[in-house]
Amino acid sequence: MTRLQKTTVAPTQESNPDPCPDAMHSLELRLAEYLTEPQVDLVRRAYRVGAEAHDGQIRKSGEAYITHPVAVATILAELRLDAETLSAAILHDTLEDTPLPRVKIAAEFGEAVAELVDGVTKLDKISFRDRQEADAESFRKMMLAMSRDLRVILIKLADRLHNMRTLDAMSTDSRRRIARETLEIYAPIAQRLGMNRIKAELQDLGFRALHPMRHRVIAKRIASQPVMRREAMATLEAQIAQRLAHEGLQFRLISRVKAPWSIYQKMREENKSFNQVMDVFGFRLVVQKVMQCYHALGAVHSQFKPLDARFRDFIAIPKANGYQSLHTVLFGPYGSPVEVQIRTEEMDLIAERGIAAHWLYKNIGQGMNNAQIRAQDWVRNLMDSQQAAASSLEFLENVKVDLFPDEVYLFTPKGDILSLPRNATTLDYAYAVHTDVGNHAVAARVDKKLVPLRTKLVSGQTVEIITAPSASPGPQWLEFVATSKARTAIRHFLKRLEHEDAVDLGHRMLDRALESLDSSLDRVAQDKIDRFLSEHRYRRLEELLADIALGNRMPGHVAQTLLQGQAPTQRSPERKRATSSTGEQILITGAERGVLSFAGCCYPIPGDEIMGYLSAGKGVVVHRADCPNVVEYRKHPDRCVPMAWDRYVEGDYRAALKLEVDNKPGVLAQVAAAVAESESNIDSVEYRERDVSVSMMVFGIEVRNRKHLADVIRRVRRLAVVHGVERL
């Protein structure tokens, strides 16, 4: 999303037509190893067009700007990407930073290359409120392009990697901002796509830029490991190799050294010292076939005893990013654990390159690899969630939530496998099955035992969701879901519900305002409604009605505008008397809580005389008619909304009671028991005054209506320790 800034100098006749011949020659030699001559020529032509477009532009480092796109293409060539991707990599900044039009790229290199270049291009031509919003919207655009072609993200990752390699030319603030973005977004994306080699370098470069001193200290400690440890590693390697050779296995055995970033993360998250983190020997064992992985596992287990519960089979159940391997931890001969990863050559290639591994399979009819299939599923789920996201910033946060490092693996009742992030609950599982299943979930069976929706899951469990047609999401669900899909679906449902409530309430408010002008919404000419909607940029009448309910439009003003030039309709005396007798009140049931709020100054409950006050952005705030603030509100009659409770009211409502009680132990428990006996809940307790013998306390409680409140007050008054009760 962020690239090194550049400057432009006026081109002269002395401008070099080939500003980086060495880098391009080196790239061509690499391409000749696996591409045909016509394919190499396509990349060569892209270089000529890109060099001409960027002529005169230089990087902060002082190099010609075209050196950056060539370096990005070189990174992708190391992954053996196809000619279209490499051409797009060389041209990836032209649409944004040069006059070169998209149509010319499409004509010269084909629509696929133009699509890739467009997908990586930021949205600089659109104005945003701040940089954060612009970056988030550019990210959403890139992810949409990635859903059409995964190669977009490969170009972006290579672009980010080269920018991180040359970050020293940037200012300190820019370095820190770009490094943080790399660690929070791009390194996790590389990991999610199985590209461990790129992920590791992005993490290391990001760590070095964000915390240079910490990186320097840890890197120095790694480099200066004691000779004894190096000898122990060599001895272990020899012992394992000897055992494998004895079994007749062909293998590669590589000792693994931890990176500074992973050491820093473990030290911080697990509160360990450097020596504790480093006190683990690690090896990677690569064999030829899948069955040889299990043969090798038996061999190393016969050499050193395995640690209980530390074996993971990611071959039978691959990780969400397509990673496959056997993981085991052994008791080492030096008192330190020995971590061993066992995989085939193909698994090793996919572990390092992820979706970039065997990219050419797609073009030669052998299909996509496991990592590519899983990556497409992940991106498809992200695109489903982005449609319901309220903004690009919310979408970006959802993606961050989804870029999890660890997964739990769960079984459906039919034996299928689902992977979810660590700390996922049964509700996350329900939404992973299907959005409708999540929206109607009421409970779950985990290993045939009934559990609530907030239950956290662990690998290996079998989960079944219990649904009910009448069930629906509530705001509290957001507190215990871990996946972006679940969070987005819940928010979307609640917003839709809130919108429907707002439209209904806005309709009633506008009708009341029109009623006072001897009209109603169904008697307003349609062309007047259409003109009002067009002038104020509303796509539908529902949007206007929702805006009225939220206090962004005054219903009286809208009514007057709609009726301008229209003769008033005469009402019958009976209709006038009926309107006068009801006071044109809007009746509420309490189900409109998406757009109504109840004032904290007077706590209105069903049975109270009430009025509404229209507050911009907040909608209607309901007050008791005897609230002290109402006197001030009535000075603004255009914002006052006559209201009353409907005959059928639902839900619990907050009320406040002031109690004068004995100041002695056990009083609070007696009061709480009396409130509970009257089927009410205590929300809060506050001491107002307190002396040797008497305490003044305020209880926040939930009641259904005035009758319920009166019952609570009666029960509390019967207590000998209570001297007085008053509703606030």
Q: Would you say residue 20 has pLDDT above 90?
A: no
Across the range 254-264, mean pLDDT stands at 83
- pLDDT tens by residue, 602-645: 889 888 888 888 776 567 788 988 888 888 888 887 788 888 88
- Res 631: pLDDT: 83
Across the range 12-27, mean pLDDT stands at 67
656, 672, 690 from 694: Cα distances, Å = 19, 17, 6
How is residue 346 written in tokens?
A: 């193909």
- Res 37: pLDDT: 92
- Res 702: pLDDT: 86
Selecting among 28, 96, 108, 542, the annotated active-site residue is 96
Type of residue numbered 663: N
- Res 138: pLDDT: 65
- Res 487: pLDDT: 83
| pTM reported for the whole predicted model | 0.56
Across the range 593-601, mean pLDDT stands at 74
Classify 700 as helix, strand or coil: strand
Give the percent of the chain with pLDDT over 90: 10
Query: Which residue in this structure is represented by tokens 């609570």?
Result: 712
Q: Would you say residue 339 has pLDDT above 50?
A: yes
Across the range 57-78, mean pLDDT stands at 87
User: Residue 562: which residues within 8 A CB-CB, separation 6 or more?
Assistant: 514, 524, 528, 529, 532
DSSP characters over 551-576: TSS-HHHHHHHHTTT-PPPPPPHHHH
Exposed e or buried b per residue across 456-489, where buried means at least 16 C-beta atoms within 10 angstroms of its C-beta: ebeeebebbbbbeeeeebeeebeebbbbbbbbbb
Q: Which residue has the higher pLDDT, 420 or 158?
A: 158
Quick one: pLDDT band at residue 145, thresholds 50, 70, 90?
low
CATH numbers and ranges of domains, the chain: 6-210 (1.10.3210.10), 221-357 (3.30.460.10), 492-645 (no CATH), 653-727 (3.30.70.260)
Indicate the average pLDDT of the chain: 79
Q: Would you say residue 126 has pLDDT above 60?
A: no
Q: Which residue has the higher pLDDT, 279 or 708?
A: 708
- Residue 133 designated active-site: no
Greatest Cα pair distance, the chain, in angstroms, is 106
Quick one: pLDDT band at residue 360, thresholds 50, 70, 90?
very low
* Tally of CA atoms within 13 A in the half-sphere of 194 that contains its CB: 30
Across the range 51-73, mean pLDDT stands at 87
Q: Would you say residue 399 has pLDDT above 80?
A: no
Quick one: pLDDT band at residue 161, thresholds 50, 70, 90?
very high
Across the range 398-424, mean pLDDT stands at 71
- Res 583: pLDDT: 46
- Distance CA(444)–CA(437), nearest Å, equals 11
- Res 115: pLDDT: 86
- Residue 689 designated active-site: no
Across the range 683-697, mean pLDDT stands at 79
- Res 553: pLDDT: 76
- pLDDT tens by residue, 421-457: 778 899 999 998 888 899 888 888 888 888 888 888 8
Q: Give the lowest-confidence range in 10-24, 214-228, 300-314.
A: 10-24
How is residue 102 written in tokens?
A: 């998209």
Q: Would you say residue 353 has pLDDT above 60?
A: yes
Q: Which residue has the higher pLDDT, 64 or 407?
A: 64
- Res 341: pLDDT: 92
- pLDDT tens by residue, 164-196: 998 887 888 888 988 988 888 888 888 877 788
Phi, psi angle pair for 7, to nearest 5°: -125, 160
DSSP characters over 105-137: HHHHH-HHHHHHHHHH---TTS--SSHHHHHHH
Residue among 7, 19, 46, 353 nearest 200 (CA): 353
Contact 447, 415 (CB under 8 A): no
Q: Which residue has the higher pLDDT, 288 or 355?
A: 288
Q: Would you say residue 293 has pLDDT above 90?
A: yes
- Res 26: pLDDT: 87
Across the range 94-118, mean pLDDT stands at 88
Quick one: pLDDT band at residue 122, thresholds 50, 70, 90?
low
Quick one: pLDDT band at residue 538, thresholds 50, 70, 90?
confident
Selecting among 55, 93, 97, 348, the annotated active-site residue is 97
Q: Give the lowest-confidence range in 68-72, 230-234, 372-376.
A: 372-376
Q: Which residue has the higher pLDDT, 403 or 20?
A: 20
- Res 279: pLDDT: 60
Q: Give the lowest-confidence range in 210-214, 503-507, 702-706.
A: 503-507
Across the range 364-385, mean pLDDT stands at 59
- Res 12: pLDDT: 41
Residue among 296, 304, 498, 294 nearest 390 (CA): 498
Bridge partners for 256 per DSSP: 282
